[in-house]
Amino acid sequence: MPRRALLLVLLACLFGACPASRPRHPNLLFVAIDTLRADRLGCQGNPRGLTPNIDALAAGGLRFAQARAHAPWTLPSFGTIFSGELPPEHGAGGVADHYFALRSEVRTWPECFRDAGYATAAIVNVDFLSSAFGVTQGFDALDARFSEDNARGRDARATTDAALARLEARGSAPFALFVHYFDAHAEYRPPQPFRRRFADPRDTDSEAFRFGTREQISAWRSAGTPPDRDGVERAEKLYDGEVAYVDAEIGRLLEGLRAAGLERDTLVVLTADHGEEFLDHGGIEHGHTLHEELLHVPLVLSWPGVLAARVETRPVGLVGLARSLCRLCEVEPAAGFSKAELLAEPGPRELLEEGFSFGNFWGLPWTALREDGWCWISIPRKGAPERVELYDLRSDPLEQQDLAAQRPEQAARMAARVEELRTRAREENWRMGPPAQLGEEALQRIRDTGYGGESREVQPK
């Protein structure tokens, strides 16, 4: 092959379009680990050795070091992951006990994949991914297991077993399989040997200490005070154990993919819907702020032989996943998908969408924008003007030093950028979807998982 032609093929491979070796419609294995902070991954700098399997996947693939979710809790975040639209645009979300489903006209990438001939299937473990909310529409086979208590739900081992059975039973059509792990969500109860390896010495052989039960979360919320620091540190170690457990099961899933000879014909995507707080800003759990610990999530794409192994440090938003997956798999995207793409340089409009986040499970919605190394957050208050916070992400990546008072011109610039999006929302009539049709049983299960009860506004420090 002439050198120039070879170079073109290599370049094409690097950018995900290798005509000689890639199947036109590769399989897609999309793994989401609910509630996984990006900083738990070894490849993101965590020193505890929690995620050797995810780290290996990332080492051979394309890792986005600065990927962010657009909402701090499950329903609106997965709404964006699947629809390629921002939370106030796709309409799925709400607050405790008042839920809205995806707007009826919104299309998801699983629908696009199904229409392109893919066999679509999902294995999910939380009610917010049930058909009542619409965000998983397009998965022909929805294997859903919901339980009233995270510790009694389908765990990572059983989830991997279900995914491997699905791989085993695949037909001749390419598949798009979504696998959702719920173990890192409260309450944290890692099995052995992960409990022994990562828990506080008081908890390595005992399950007496519990953190994140429905009763505990309700009590903390209604009192407006978080639990004591010692308890949170202890809980965080159990969380680490859960992360390590899920990682081991992801290792088993990827090994199954290799053993089936599917590795080179499959695009693997791994991400999370949001993170978790351990007093980073004075609170716990998730849903209640738009700070880094809740929005910075892992994002890895792996397709051996097609996607070159590298680390992308440009900040990206999960809103860009939908169009990117369609491009990589040569599937026609839906018209409503954001134009943002993980592998393309964003224009001003895409930058705005990638950096935008919205929501608050427990009250009035917060709005945030991360752009040009700055984070601007607007916090509404009942009967008072909004409170604005501003952080310089280059010198203060953990958002500890509020500069809104010192840098009012920067805060005003970012407020004007968000106003552009608000104007568009009015022009395009963004609104919530229809109220989710939930039976009392499902609603009670959701409350029991920790999503419910009265809340006093917890003001972070």
What is the four-CA torsion angle of 57, 60, 64, 68, rounded to 10 degrees?
Answer: -10
The residue to which tokens 């930058």 are assigned: 351
In Å, what is the CA distance from 254 to each residue of 31, 39, 85, 267? 10, 22, 29, 12
- By C-beta, is 265 or 292 nearer to Zn ion? 292
Which residues 270-289 are close enough to bind Zn ion by CB under 5 A? Answer: 273
- DSSP state, 132? T
Both tokens of residue 320?
């860009």
The residue to which tokens 């739900």 are assigned: 153
- By C-beta, is 127 or 273 nearer to Zn ion? 273
In this structure, the chain runs to a length of: 461
Binding pattern for the stretch 224-263 against Zn ion, x by CB under 5 A and - elsewhere: ----------------------------------------
Q: Encode 288-311: b = buried (16+ Cβ within 10 Å), e = exposed.
A: bbbbbbbbbbbbbbbbeebbeeee
Minimal distance, residue 114 CB to Zn ion, in Å: 24
User: CB under 5 A: which stretch of 100-108, 268-276, 300-308, 436-444 binds Zn ion?
Assistant: 268-276
Per CB under 5 A, 183 contacts Zn ion: no
Query: How many residues interact with Zn ion (rule CB under 5 A)?
Result: 3
Which of 22, 27, 34, 296 forms a contact with Zn ion (CB under 5 A)? 34
Q: How far, in Å, CA of 444 to CA of 108, rounded?
A: 28
The residue to which tokens 């006209």 are assigned: 105
- By C-beta, is 156 or 414 nearer to Zn ion? 156
User: CB under 5 A: which stretch of 30-38, 169-177, 243-251, 324-332 binds Zn ion?
Assistant: 30-38
Minimal distance, residue 179 CB to Zn ion, in Å: 14
For Zn ion, the nearest residue by Cβ is 74
In Å, what is the CA distance from 388 to each residue of 95, 367, 396, 400, 415? 22, 10, 17, 14, 9
Minimal distance, residue 71 CB to Zn ion, in Å: 10
Minimal distance, residue 70 CB to Zn ion, in Å: 13
Minimal distance, residue 74 CB to Zn ion, in Å: 3
The answer to whether 211 and 447 are in contact (CB under 8 A) is: no
User: CB under 5 A: which stretch of 266-274, 328-336, 380-388, 407-415 binds Zn ion?
Assistant: 266-274
Count H helices and E strands in the chain, helices first.
14, 19
- By C-beta, is 34 or 247 nearer to Zn ion? 34
Cα angle 68-73-77, degrees, rounded to a multiple of 5 = 55
- By C-beta, is 74 or 357 nearer to Zn ion? 74
- By C-beta, is 74 or 150 nearer to Zn ion? 74
The answer to whether 216 and 67 are in contact (CB under 8 A) is: no
The answer to whether 309 and 59 are in contact (CB under 8 A) is: yes
- By C-beta, is 34 or 236 nearer to Zn ion? 34
Minimal distance, residue 78 CB to Zn ion, in Å: 7
In Å, what is the CA distance from 440 to each residue of 55, 142, 216, 443, 447? 41, 21, 22, 5, 10
Binding pattern for the stretch 372-411 against Zn ion, x by CB under 5 A and - elsewhere: ----------------------------------------
Minimal distance, residue 73 CB to Zn ion, in Å: 6
Both tokens of residue 401?
């030093």
Minimal distance, residue 271 CB to Zn ion, in Å: 11
Minimal distance, residue 349 CB to Zn ion, in Å: 28
Minimal distance, residue 329 CB to Zn ion, in Å: 25
- By C-beta, is 200 or 448 nearer to Zn ion? 448
Which residues 62-101 are close enough to bind Zn ion by CB under 5 A? Answer: 74
- By C-beta, is 99 or 376 nearer to Zn ion? 99
- By C-beta, is 276 or 353 nearer to Zn ion? 276
The answer to whether 216 and 227 are in contact (CB under 8 A) is: yes
Minimal distance, residue 303 CB to Zn ion, in Å: 26
Nearest residue to 270 via CA among 16, 28, 32: 32
413 phi, psi to nearest 5 deg: -60, -40
- DSSP state, 264? G
- By C-beta, is 63 or 180 nearer to Zn ion? 180
Q: Which residues bind Zn ion (CB under 5 A)?
A: 34, 74, 273
